[in-house]
Structure 1
Amino acid sequence: MHSQRYFFPAAALVCCAVSVLRPAAAEAESVKALQWEINADKLTRLENPARIVAEGHVELIKLQKTAADRKKGRSARWNDLLGEDAGQPEEEQRPADSGSSKAVPQISENAAAEADEAGPRMVSTVMTTVKADRMLYNMDEGTVRADGKVFIEIGPDQLKADGGTVNLKQETGSFENAAIIRQYKDMHLEGQKIEKTGELTYHIEDGWIITCKLQDGETPPWSFKAAEADITDGGYAYLKHATFRIKDVPVLYTPIMILPAKRSRQTGFLFPLVSMSDRNGFGMELPFFINLSPSADITLYPHYIANRGFMAGAEGRYALDQGGKGTLMANFLSDDLKAEGSRTYTDQERYWLRGKADQEFGEWTTRLDIDLVSDRDYLSEFDLGRTGLTLSDRYYLEQFGRGLQDRTTDQRTNSLKALRSWGNGMSLRASLTGVDDLAEGENGSAALWKLPEIEHNGRLTVYEAVKTDLSWSTDYVHYWREEGVGAQRLDLYPKVTAAVPLLEQRLNGSVTAGLRNTAYAIDGNGDAAWADSDTENRLLGILQSELSTLMRKDFGTAGDGWSHVLRPFLKHTYVTDDDKNLPQFDGVDSFGDQNSITYGINNFFTVSGIKRNKEEFERDYGYVKLQQSYDLRSDAGDEPFLPIELRTAWYPTSSMIFRYETDLNVYDDGFLRHFAEGDYRSWRGDIFSLDYLYYKNIYKDTQGGSDTSSVRLSALVNLMYDFSAGYSLEKSLEDSITLKEKVSLVYHPACWAVELGAETTPDNEQITIMFQLANIGAPFGVDF
């Protein structure tokens, strides 16, 4: 049997079996009408009272008709040029016999213009869909009774039921043995009876709630069961006589419970963090989330630590637009535990303030970074949960693309930067930089602040025939410190670079000539060595030349091959000597007195092929860079060769990275530095990371100190039966001290997770337990 259809406004009677009731004519762009359409294998009309019985694959659709601009419709006739079928206007469509083959009439420009004068063209949009095996429509009451596999799509929600009644006028209803899935966070609502009380609001009797996906017929791993529940759109789920159940076994009862059922963020408590350690004793953190607006929120982190007192914590976030966002975090503790052993803090008022913000003001891009901490030991002692360094660093790195400074950094930089660039190669950068010096007084002078620094860079092509460019770097900075020498410094560095084609472009050559003038206004600021200093000026001449060539060889086939690019180079650098007594702030001050030749060879490797979906690809496979310099100055003595520098990387797969760097002194000192890094992430989500760092202290025989050698290891392995195991290690190898070691075991089936962690530091052992439910309090996830 062919499908039959009825069209009817929500409050109107159907006059005949197959008809369309249209709204009256109105002004273009303003005509809107709501209309219901019913499709079924069989439609039967009954009288007294007037009813329609629909049977077999019944589908009830709510349509909204909106006036369309015919001129805009004609502007879309690009589909004619593309060879696409523009389709038939909605109001021209009519139910027809199944065997009809009538051609669709074409509308001319004149006919379209006449139609514009006659009235607007209507376009239909599906708003709601109701499906069932059988429906009974009562025309007088405007209600529909649906039975057998009832399915309704209502905006972002889906409703399934064995049967129910729908009021088409008020768009409400009552359903038996029903389930609702709220798509925005996969919230499942089930009940013996569910009443749809508003557009997206419900009342549930004898039902349960779970906030994650379930397969049909699957027993929920956890749920909230309630005698009654009211779900409000833009509000909460209010439960009466609620029990929290695990595998349908009740473990907690409460007469009233409020759960987040909002499509937007909501104020409320997040899940707690519980810990136990030798040094701190029992601890509990109970976060509280406050939703200020759709673009701003605050999270409070009250943290009770038995042996230390109450730690207050807060996090504020905002997101104004795509180019403007910020997050500020702060913790404060009046510590009851005094420093012992290797602990260095002297003030019991412990704190950590950190934050980042990105904002665009027209053509200007700004970056704010804040990192203020009370003492060296804070970041190691309180690295726990979201407010600890590990997770805070991960959060800022993911959200802002730049993380926090290492826990061992004594001089913690705080800065505000503004940058503007122009398409012609010019840029202007201004910044303010302050330093929180945790080692103040230990090195004899305070940390340097930059208040402010302004840098302008640019490049212009002055002679296109031989590719000659004029570039410049202009930098002004005011160095300030609480004690010790400071200065205002202006550095001007213009240079001209000209390309020198050689041997029919087989060799690439370039020559650069420049002048660098650096002017100082020195402030002794109590430093006796600079008491009589006022101003200094340094003028340097720079001459650089480079000769290189580029060779490439392809191996294999276009569908499966690799390429090797070889670039040997030879470079000479000469900088005049200006033997003046200058303060040393950064590399600009030590620049000068060079006469060296640098030679090396760079190798770059790429692989190409065809993916399984027959898409071609080409990616980096690795590189090897090797170079060394020879000092031509007379005072180089018997050791003119500088260390050999090796930089290499290997990317065997797109998910695996290996890097290695080293500096080798060709004389007695041997290797001066090693840095090795390996990272791997599998398709299952397994993670492995290993970092090794070694620095040789070549001055330890005369100035004391020792070599630096450390290793960092972290791994996460997904085991069977929804278990994951994590391990992380930070160890100082030169003195065989384990700085931090942590083992985690996580059970994360669908909809919830529990993490058990054990952490060891030189003076503390700690155990933590974290429990999370999907979409309750915070996004579901597991962190290490």
Structure 2
Amino acid sequence: LYNDENQGIARNAKVYVGGVPAFWSPYFTFPIKQERKTGFLTPTFGYSSRSGADLVVPYFVYLAPNYDLTLYPRWLSKRGLMLGGEFRYLQPSYSGQITGAFLEDDKQFGEQRWTYGIVHRQQLGQVLGFNIGLNVNWNKASDGDYFRDLNDLDINDSDNSYLNQSASLTFSGHKYWSGFLRWQQYQGLHDLQLNRETPGRGIYAQYERKPELLVRGARYDWGGFDVNTVNTLTRFEFPKFPAHLSGGESVWQNYGGHRRHDGTRFTSYSTISYPIVRPGWYITPKVGLHFSHYETDWIGANSAQDGSRIRAQSRTLPIFSIDSGMTFERDTTFFGNAAKQTLEPRLYYLYIPYRDQSSIPLYDTSVSQFGFGTAFTENRYAGGWDRINNANRVTVGLTSRWLEADTGVERLALQVAQSFSFEPQKVTLSNNEQLANNRSEFLAALSARLTDKLNTEVAVQYDPYEKKIAQSVVSLRWNPKRLTSLSLSYRYQRDQYEHPETGVVYPYQLPAKENVIVAGQWPFTKRLNAVGRLDYSVRESRSTQSIVGLEYKGECCWAARVLFQRYAVAREKTNSRVYFQLELSGLGALGSDPMSTIRENIPGYESTELPMPVRSIFERYE
């Protein structure tokens, strides 16, 4: 041991697990103190069906107390040798990290593969009483399949369709005002195989903000009034169709690659409300004014401006609402135990006059999925307010809870809600859409803590006109003791419905699905535990994800884990991974770490390591 150099050296080092040698190294160094030190880190290894055996030998370079570098030489048996790295830095006014990876020649892809990411946060100082900040989050990859093929074992980004590329200046700290100036674009991670099968599909893109300025102001309890204003100026541009991909020339050649129109939008929404809150009840009247102005580049043949469409247009709409609610309580019993029951009715009225908005472009607006979170909101359209619904409706909600009298623990909660319109909905995303119904879907939810070890939740969305369940979720979780849990969930989303005459499918609907998920953690012995999960699609009659793992906790200072995971990366493509880890207390861990995968996919998972007791601030007096 060399205390002055903060280094210990071991030669011909062996680590025994249960009397069996599990690790050997001819030369091994380690830090004595809790300080960083240049040298090799614990290697990781695993296996995936798309890349084969995967071995990473990280090398950490201690450059200074406030910045360091980690290199990641990585060998994949089906791909080749690649090099990754991470540089971290920290200063009083800024911090960040730069990551990247490079593969010179992918054996299966036949080309270079690479990716990089930059995250930077900085405080630039004060200007006119505002704290000015800089935030950068910029990511790029060589191709759309990079994360499906070469992602790290402990990260599953295979279902990502976009990489964010943004930079923003923020201003905050003022008593009433805040905002940002942002440039945001995306790299579409195109599914090349899907595009080859169906030209034009699998090509992902969305509107980019080049740039966007937002100014927000708020003042609360100003003589009893709350005043808010949000103002946004955005330039929207849609990426051109990649001409080198299938379908590019035949579909978009006459439009110069333009798939959608570009344009500039200004929106301003200012509100004033007067909350009246008293014990047992509240009422909040609110008045707002929304103004929007659009300058649209309608692209026609040969990339010329389409003169037949309106380029500049504005819209002004007043918005009025009243939100109110009450709370009643009574003493009762719950399965023979003293309890307190609440009854909480809520009534919400909304009025917005109709304006024809069919000529206004759609940049970032879609239909909000109706639910408890959106039933009491002003606009059925989410995003940038390219559509504002006309409304003359009342939403009624009722909640009832059963609480333990002594502890206040919620044992049972029931919720229902429904909206009633006094006029038909005329503002739609599609001219083919019909929204003549004067009643919304009926919402009902139940959550119950039946015992201290058994919980259940049920949520149903019922269409009174179709007389069908639109969505439903049922879940059950059982935790009989430590390191033991079982969970079962069922999710249903009905088929997308069509226009009754044209047969057009409304585009804003969620895709139909019916899934069953079973997951759990179970101890076989005092030291051996198992984890598992199965995601099954009833509609597709196939498993979309399966996980099986074992974890063994040694007597004193070691643990071993093995995990197998298979998941879908496309409709007919799957990837399989094998994790193996040997953890040596105080020395680190060998192999690929499966813990992030376990924690993300096993509800209620508990570590075999006993949690550290929380220290009380009054421990000296206890």
**Alpha-carbon distance, 1:760 to partner:** 3.2
After superposition, the CA RMSD in angstroms is 4.1
Q: Which has the larger radius of gyration?
A: 1
Alignment of 1:674-753 (within 5 A): 674-676=472-474, 684-686=482-484, 692-699=490-497, 702-703=503-504, 707-749=512-554, 750-753=556-559
State the partner residue of 1:495. 271
> What is the SS of the residue equivalent to 2:35?
coil
State the partner residue of 2:465. 667
State the partner residue of 2:237. 480
Query: Retained in 2: the 8 A contact 1:357–1:367?
Result: yes
**Alpha-carbon distance, 1:282 to partner:** 3.3
Do structure 1's residue 574 and structure 2's residue 345 form an aligned pair? Answer: no
Which one has more relative contact order, counting CA pairs under 8 Å at least 6 apart?
Answer: 2
Query: Retained in 2: the 8 A contact 1:669–1:698?
Result: no
State the partner residue of 1:448. 207
CA 1:251–1:746: 2 relative to 1, 3 Å: closer
Query: Retained in 2: the 8 A contact 1:273–1:385?
Result: no
Alignment of 1:383-394 (within 5 A): 384-386=152-154, 388-389=155-156
Do structure 1's residue 512 and structure 2's residue 290 form an aligned pair? Answer: no
> What is the SS of the residue equivalent to 1:538?
strand
**Alpha-carbon distance, 1:621 to partner:** 5.1
State the partner residue of 2:76. 305
Residue in structure 2 matching 1:592, options 389, 392, 395: 389
Any gaps of 5 or more consecutive residues in structure 2?
126-130, 192-199, 241-259, 366-381, 427-434, 568-572, 599-622
Residue in structure 2 matching 1:642, options 434, 440, 455: 440
Q: Which moved more, 1:655-664 or 1:576-585?
A: 655-664
Paired letter, 1:487:
G
**Alpha-carbon distance, 1:539 to partner:** 0.7
State the partner residue of 1:219. none
State the partner residue of 1:551. 328
Alignment of 1:73-152 (within 5 A): none
State the partner residue of 1:535. 312
**Alpha-carbon distance, 1:536 to partner:** 1.3
Counterpart CA distance in 1 for 2:449 and 2:177 is 35
Counterpart CA distance in 2 for 1:601 and 1:459 is 31
Query: Retained in 2: the 8 A contact 1:270–1:778?
Result: no
Counterpart CA distance in 1 for 2:411 and 2:120 is 35
**1:581-620 deviations in whole A, cap 9, x for unaligned?**
10112230111322222111133554464xxxxxxx6555
**Alpha-carbon distance, 1:435 to partner:** 2.1
**1:722-757 deviations in whole A, cap 9, x for unaligned?**
222222334433212323322122223232232223
Query: Retained in 2: the 8 A contact 1:477–1:489?
Result: yes
Paired letter, 2:543:
T
CA 1:247–1:748: 2 relative to 1, 3 Å: closer
> What is the SS of the residue equivalent to 2:355?
coil
Counterpart CA distance in 2 for 1:366 and 1:655 is 47
Counterpart CA distance in 1 for 2:81 and 2:19 is 37
**Alpha-carbon distance, 1:329 to partner:** 4.2
Paired letter, 2:352:
V
Paired letter, 2:239:
E
Any gaps of 5 or more consecutive residues in structure 1?
1-229, 340-346, 390-405, 610-616
State the partner residue of 1:46. none
Counterpart CA distance in 2 for 1:273 and 1:433 is 35
State the partner residue of 1:432. 183
Query: Retained in 2: the 8 A contact 1:234–1:264?
Result: no
Query: Retained in 1: the 8 A contact 2:188–2:203?
Result: no
**Alpha-carbon distance, 1:448 to partner:** 0.8
State the partner residue of 2:218. 459
Do structure 1's residue 629 and structure 2's residue 415 form an aligned pair? Answer: no
CA 1:711–1:417: 2 relative to 1, 3 Å: farther
Paired letter, 1:293:
A
CA 1:238–1:653: 2 relative to 1, 3 Å: farther
CA 1:605–1:669: 2 relative to 1, 3 Å: same
Query: Retained in 1: the 8 A contact 2:181–2:214?
Result: yes
**Alpha-carbon distance, 1:574 to partner:** 1.5
TM-score by length of 2: 0.70
CA 1:591–1:448: 2 relative to 1, 3 Å: same
Seq. identity, %? 20
